[in-house]
Chains A and B, each alone.
Chain A
């Protein structure tokens, strides 16, 4: 089933004219139960250092973050990805995230229950809370980015 969906996704990528960078973000934040993997996120982080690609990445994340409740995995994974990019991506990602903090902040009360009544929103509420906390604490953010840079150079 998942294979069929990933085929559908690659068709959509072509039909909607998404660039390879955007397709990458879409794969990393898809409705697949697993992921995003660290290598996927690292790949995307590398693409945030060039202006045009940076815009493509952020546009796609923005779209995913504002997705419907049914697609809660899109939102949860986008928060995971954004959290990674804020640490490992370009400075522009931090600027973008601070500028658009309200998009993240307002997800702290996200709600979605699936057909079995299971609360799938909790994971998003927690992730949104953590990311908001990080973005509001300049000192911690600076340390985290420094740490990330050291790790990347190892």
Chain B
């Protein structure tokens, strides 16, 4: 209501262009922030998507990979309309995944395909489950809603587990591609949104599973969800340990610390505000 800035569409186009440059480096935060802030200023993402589509990213693998990082960041931190806009643009995003068959000239081919498929999974999730924000920052009411409707809750948890699995597959591919020292910063910077997202999903899973265990009559129904969660937890622990060994990453973000042993799902959720990444 008091907003006084007037970032124009031209500013946005410049931010998009500079964030998605062809240089093999991390997208500059300054320009990514420009895109994010624009969607909030205007409470709309249409201009962002249009600016993205104007870029000649189909001609360069690095530029395309960087664009996917930028898209992911805007989906996470941008105005909620960014998620809606992303869902509408799924066909275009899919087309990006078909541009470089095989490994590509610069070895970004597979990374791009996997990133595209992850982003599309994410967009479907947000479309099916409104009420989650882009970074899965904890909101109490979502887990409350889940308890009131166990079927919907079961479904939401299942889909969250699926998304976390897809995220895990993608982070493994990234780690497998890092070995080349030159330009690794570009690949590593894709881990930044993944760390934030995986932790957000994790927090939700713990809280929702606890709520389900409190309200469900038999534990047996929840057995498959529990098993999958514990299995996932082990991999999440390793993921954060791997991330902690990359200096570039640890100076930029705080890698969440989770204990070796998975949290007890049978107890009351003591972490009432649960805002771990605030």
Contacts and interface: CB of A to CB of B under 8 A. Distances in A.
A102 B40 contact: yes
Interface stretch (A8-16, A54-62, A142-150): A54-62
Nearest to A101: B40
Interface in B172-216: 192
B184 to A, nearest CB: 17
Contact of B77 (A96, A100, A105): A105
Interface stretch (B1-9, B84-92, B119-127): B1-9
Interface in A76-108: 92, 95-96, 99-100, 102-103, 105-107
Contacts of B2: 55, 58, 92, 95-96, 99-100
A99 B251 CA distance: 29
Interface stretch (B30-38, B55-63, B228-236): B30-38
Q: Interface residues of A toward B: which range?
A: 20 to 34
A102 B36 contact: yes
A21 interface: no
Interface string A116-153: 00010010000001001100110000000000000000
Nearest to B254: A129
Contact of B253 (A63, A109, A132): A109
Given A55-B2, A62-B4, A102 B275 contact: no
B224 interface: no
A111 B4 contact: no
A133 B275 contact: yes
Contacts of B5: 62-63, 66
Interface string B16-29: 00000000000011
A4 B260 CA distance: 57
Greatest chain A CB density within 10 A among B28, B40, B273, B278 is at: B278
B252 interface: yes
B4 A59 contact: yes
Contacts of A132: 278
Nearest to B33: A106
Contacts, number: 56
Contact of A99 (B1, B36, B273): B1
Contacts of A105: 77
B36 A119 contact: no
Contacts of A35: none
A107 B5 CA distance: 17
B59 to A, nearest CB: 28
30 contacts: A55-B2, A58-B2, A62-B3, A62-B5, A63-B5, A66-B5, A66-B37, A69-B30, A95-B1, A96-B2, A99-B1, A102-B36, A102-B40, A102-B77, A103-B37, A105-B77, A106-B36, A106-B37, A106-B77, A107-B33, A109-B192, A109-B252, A109-B253, A110-B29, A111-B252, A119-B251, A133-B275, A136-B278, A137-B273, A137-B275
Interface of B: 1-5, 28-30, 33, 36-37, 40, 77, 79, 192, 251-253, 273, 275, 278
Given A109-B29, A110-B29, A111-B28, 17 more contacts: A58-B2, A62-B4, A62-B5, A95-B1, A95-B2, A99-B1, A99-B2, A102-B40, A102-B77, A102-B79, A109-B192, A109-B252, A110-B33, A111-B29, A119-B251, A122-B251, A133-B275
The 10 A-B residue pairs with the shortest CB-CB distance, nearest first, are A102-B40, A59-B4, A133-B278, A106-B33, A111-B29, A96-B2, A106-B36, A109-B29, A62-B4, A62-B5
